[in-house]
Amino acid sequence: MGNYHNLEPEFILRTLRLIDQYYGVLDNYPFEEQFNYTLTINCLLGLIVMPKERVISYVPTDRLTREYLAEIGAPSLEVNEKIHTLRDLVISLRHAVAHFDINVVSEGEQNLVDWLVFSDSENGGNVVARFRANELLPFLRHYAGCLLQNMERNRGR
* Every domain of the chain and the residues it spans: 7-155
Q: Helical H runs in 3-49?
A: 7-25, 36-44
Q: Is the per-residue pLDDT at 20 higher than 60? A: yes
Q: Band the pLDDT of 107: cuts 50, 70, 90.
A: very high
pLDDT at 7: 87
Average pLDDT over residues 22-38: 94
Q: Percentage of the chain with pLDDT > 70?
A: 97
Does an H or E element contain 60, and which? none
C-alpha to C-alpha distance for 46 and 33, rounded to whole angstroms: 24
SS3 assignment, position 115: strand
How does residue 156 score in pLDDT terms, banded at 50, 70 and 90?
A: low
Quote the CA–CA distance of 89 and 70 in Å, as a whole number. Answer: 16
Q: Backbone phi, then psi, for 55, in 5-degree steps?
A: -140, 35
Q: 6 pLDDT band (50/70/90 cuts)? A: confident
Region 127-148 average pLDDT: 97
Average pLDDT, whole number, for the chain?
93
Residues contacting 41, CB < 8 A, separation 6+: 102, 116
Residue 1 has pLDDT above 70, yes or no: no
Name every residue whose Cβ is closer than 8 Å to that of residue 5 and which is 6 or more positions away in sequence. Answer: none
